[in-house]
Structure formats: structure tokens, C-alpha cells
Amino acid sequence: MKKNRTAILKHLCACALTIAMAFVVPSAGYAAGTDTLGFGVGGPGTNVDAYGNPVSGVVAKGITVSKYQYRASAANGGIDWDTVKKSGVSFAMIRLGYYNDLDPNFVENMKGALAAGLKTGIFFYTQALDVDTARAEADFVLSQIKDYPISYPVAYDVESDTILQNGLTKQQITDQVKAFCERIAAAGYRPIVYANNEWLNNHLDMTQLPYDIWYARYGTVNEYPNRTIWQCTDHGEVPGIGGNVTVEYAFVDYGTLIPSDGWKQVGNDWYYVKNYIHQTGWLTVGDKTYYLGADGKMVHDITVNLDGKDYTFGSDGALQ
């Protein structure tokens, strides 16, 4: 009888373990034969979720990088961006930080990603409690990114405990997000709202926010209206970066949505980019000619002497 009870207990324990393992959510790379991002199963180029299920419609794989990944890679001399790109990553969303509080490794991360040939966007964490501050946050972001070739969206991370602790209503939060995104769009960049399912459904009126959605929902569910990027895990493993990495899937080709050439406005100053890079000197756009200073700013409402000759530029910057 005792032997039978022992055998039964062993059998029950084995069954329980099997059932428990069936419901474990893989945390990073998870299973033998992981792809180059260390996420799911399959080989290079495979797009799968945390359970190894194929994800359809993926246009590009990306990662999110901040001071934390930079520090985790410090022992190896920093992030090896060339290795990151070779692993299959084509874009990076770089953390800019908070209002007047730049991520200490923002510059290094931007320069490293760009030097390796990755497309880059940025994300900014809001702590605004009113519309005016949200616009000031947008101006701060623009002042920091104006000298970089930004070819992916500018993200507004709205998951702020500060906002909730101060009791802002859904409409107030929505107004702030709208103000930030309008400012970013007016400057010539493409805004995107970053949030998880709970925030999108309970704290924002999405009917008033016709912007791209960067959907943070780990696991297998990636559908949401206007979702263009899905953040599928924060426990990815990417060659070239130490520690955990957040993995992103893009479902649109931002190369077709974000013009590589065109005007950008930061504050009261206008700049022109070609292939997302600021131009300087003489510039012809259509049938008009402009002059951009060494800092990239368009000159206007002034007569200047260039190479011994006077030139007058109107209020729109065009040569008179």
C-alpha cells in the first residue's frame, strides 16, 4: 500500500510538472535553435512571438536601447553595433530621456546605431501635467534630435505614474498627447504613441489621436488599431548587447512614410534634410534658391555678403 501511494504521488508530481511547464512563458531566447535576435525559434529572418508562433506582416525587426543596455555592455567595451546589425536588427528606437533630463548615453547610442547603418527613431517619457508642458517636452525633443538623421518615428511614452497620481482625466491626458504629437508633426517628424493595452483602452481617447501606435504587449497578441510597431518582449537576447533587450517588430515601411528629403522646423528655425541629413550652403528646392548656414539654419529676412557679393533673402528664406 505504501509503495502504491509512493508511486501514485510520483506520477501526480510528474503530471503537475508537465502541466506547469506547458504554461511557462519563455523569458528570452527560450528554446534551442533561437533566431538571431534570441527570440522564439527558427533561423535568421524568422519572425516569431514568445511561443515560437510565426508573426505575419513584419517588415522590419528592431530593438529599444537606453542607458541600461549601454551599461550592461560596458564590460565588453560598449554596444557592438556592427554585430547588432548583422544579427538581423534593422532599426533602433533610442531613449532620449525626460524633459530637460537627457539619457546619459543618448548621444553614444545614436552615434553608434547610425554608424552601423541602422535606421533610428527615439522615444521620450512624459511627465507633463498640462498641455503647455507637453508642448515644451516636444520642443525639448526637437532641440535634441535636430542634428541626427531620424528615419523612424518620434515616440511619446505616455505610461506615466506621475500623470495618474495627479489625477488627470482621460481627456486631459489625451489633450497632452495630442499637443505633443501635433508639435512633432508640424516640425516635419512622424509622431507615434507608445503605450500598453491598459493605457490605450482606459486612459486615452484614441478616437482623438490619429497617430501611429507603438503597442507594448508581451506574448502573442499584437493587434491594435493603427498599430505600426509591436513591442513583443523586454527579455530579448541580441548579439552585441549585454543583458536583456526589448524587441520590436515594425509592420509598415517607414521609408515610404517618412520623407528622406524635406524641411524640418525646430522652434523658429528651418532646416533642410537630404537622406535625413541636414544640408548647409546653397540649396535649390523647386524654382527657389535658399542659403543654409554652417549650423544648417535657413537664413531669411536679411542681406548677407557671400564670397564678396550681397544676396537678399525674403521672409520665406528664398533668394530675392
Whole-model pTM: value is 0.84
- Is residue 184 very low, low, confident or very high in pLDDT (cuts 50, 70, 90)? very high
pLDDT of 253 reads 97
Q: What is the pLDDT of residues 91-116, one digit of tens each?
A: 999 999 999 999 999 999 999 999 99
Q: What is the pLDDT of residues 216-272, one digit of tens each?
A: 999 888 999 999 999 998 988 899 999 899 999 999 999 999 999 999 999 999 999
pLDDT of 32 reads 26
Report yes or no: 264 and 250 within 8 Å, Cβ to Cβ: no
pLDDT of 49 reads 77
67, pLDDT greater than 50? yes
Q: Helices in 166-203 by DSSP H: which ranges?
A: 170-186, 197-202
Q: Give the separation between CA 261 and CA 282, rounded to whole angstroms.
A: 15
pLDDT of 76 reads 85
Strand intervals (E) in 71-196: 91-98, 101-102, 119-125, 154-157, 191-196
Report yes or no: 228 and 253 within 8 Å, Cβ to Cβ: no
Q: Which residues contact residue 271 at a Cβ distance below 8 angstroms, ignoring those fewer than 6 apart?
A: 146, 263, 264, 265, 278, 279, 292, 296, 297, 298
Could you tell me the CA-to-CA distances from 15 to 30, 69, 140, 270 in Å, in that order?
A: 22, 39, 57, 67
Q: Which residues contact residue 119 at a Cβ distance below 8 angstroms, ignoring those fewer than 6 apart?
A: 60, 90, 91, 92, 151, 152, 254, 255
pLDDT of 120 reads 98
Cell (9 digits) for 212: 501611429
Q: What is the pLDDT of residues 279-320, one digit of tens each?
A: 999 999 999 999 999 999 999 999 999 999 999 999 999 999
